[in-house]
């Protein structure tokens, strides 16, 4: 059993100012006096809640990947596309490398986030550190900026409007799942996961 390491000090990552760790009430945030950055937020979620939401996110991820985001129709012909289709389609053209960027942004990064969350939090739920805990936690932080489901959601809405001029466009089940998942991921895979370091 590893004893949790903590410090009486917190440091602002934007200007290097040092403060004594504040005790926060629900909904409170502490700000840096020197540069105005958010130092700490009150954390309202426990291990069980995050684990439950991660399971939900995993189910939604299956829906966003395997159900069409949109369907279109043109003179009796129909077509539908999932997120997979859009990445695979980019990969077939002469500029396949862009498919890699898109694949990371909308499939690989969210998938990795959810797998890591499930792994870390199912062990945390048993009050244990998962094997590779340090690595997983650091990876979660580095993956976060590359996960762009919320951008994809806006992109899907733009695509609907773009195509609606020539074709019949119907939003699919995947779009609803995408909307729910992008909100959920912001909530559970944000920076505030750092409290787990102090718990285990």
Partner 1 sequence: MSDPPYARAMNLRLCHGCGLACDLARVAERCPRCGARLHRRKPESIARTWAFTLAGLVFYIPANALPVMSTNILGGHVESTIIGGVVEFAESGAWDIATIIFIASIGVPATKFIALILLLITVQRRGAWRRKQRTRLYRFVEVIGYWSMLDVLVVALVTALVKFQKLGDIEPRAGILFFGLVVVMTMLAAMSFDPRLIWDGEGEHER
28 binds partner 1 (CB under 8 A): no
Tokens encoding 127: 């009050």
Edge-to-edge strand list for the sheet holding 168-171: 77-81, 70-74, 168-171
Q: Which member of 23, 26, 27, 166 binds partner 1 (CB under 8 A)?
A: 166
SS3 41: strand
> 140 phi and psi, to 5 degrees?
-55, -40
Q: Which member of 62, 151, 173, 183 binds partner 1 (CB under 8 A)?
A: 151
Q: How far is the CB of 140 from partner 1 (least distance, A)?
A: 11
Residues 80-139 that bind partner 1 (CB under 8 A): 80-81, 85-90, 93-95, 97-99, 101-102, 105-106, 134, 137-138
Q: How far is the CB of 59 from partner 1 (least distance, A)?
A: 22
Closest CA to 57 of 109, 111, 120, 133: 111
For Cα atoms 71, 73, 163, give the angle at the middle one, nearest 5 degrees.
Answer: 75
Tokens encoding 191: 């920076």
- For residues 22 and 38, the answer to whether their CB atoms sit within 8 Å is no
Q: Which member of 28, 49, 79, 168 binds partner 1 (CB under 8 A)?
A: 79
- Given the rule CB under 8 A, which residues bind partner 1? 5-7, 9-11, 13-19, 32-37, 69-70, 72, 74-75, 77, 79-81, 85-90, 93-95, 97-99, 101-102, 105-106, 134, 137-138, 141, 145-146, 148, 151-152, 154-156, 158-159, 161-163, 165-167, 194, 197
């Amino acid at each position: 059993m590893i004893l949790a390491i903590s410090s009486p000090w917190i440091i602002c990552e934007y200007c290097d100012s040092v403060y004594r760790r504040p005790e926060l009430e629900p909904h409170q945030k502490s700000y840096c006096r020197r540069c105005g950055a958010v130092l700490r937020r009150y954390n309202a979620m426990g291990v069980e809640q995050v684990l439950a939401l991660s399971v939900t996110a995993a189910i939604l991820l299956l829906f966003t990947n395997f159900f069409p985001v949109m369907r279109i129709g043109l003179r009796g012909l129909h077509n539908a596309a999932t997120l997979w289709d859009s990445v695979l389609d980019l990969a077939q053209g002469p500029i396949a490398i862009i498919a890699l960027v898109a694949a990371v942004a909308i499939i690989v990064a969210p998938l990795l986030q959810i797998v890591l969350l499930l792994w870390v939090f199912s062990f945390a739920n048993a009050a244990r550190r998962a094997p590779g805990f340090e690595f997983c936690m650091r990876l979660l932080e580095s993956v976060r900026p590359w996960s762009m489901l919320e951008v994809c959601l806006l992109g899907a809405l733009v695509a609907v409007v773009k195509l609606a001029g020539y074709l019949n466009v119907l939003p699919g089940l995947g779009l609803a799942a995408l909307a729910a998942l992008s909100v959920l991921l912001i909530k559970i895979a944000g920076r505030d996961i750092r409290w787990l370091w102090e718990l285990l």
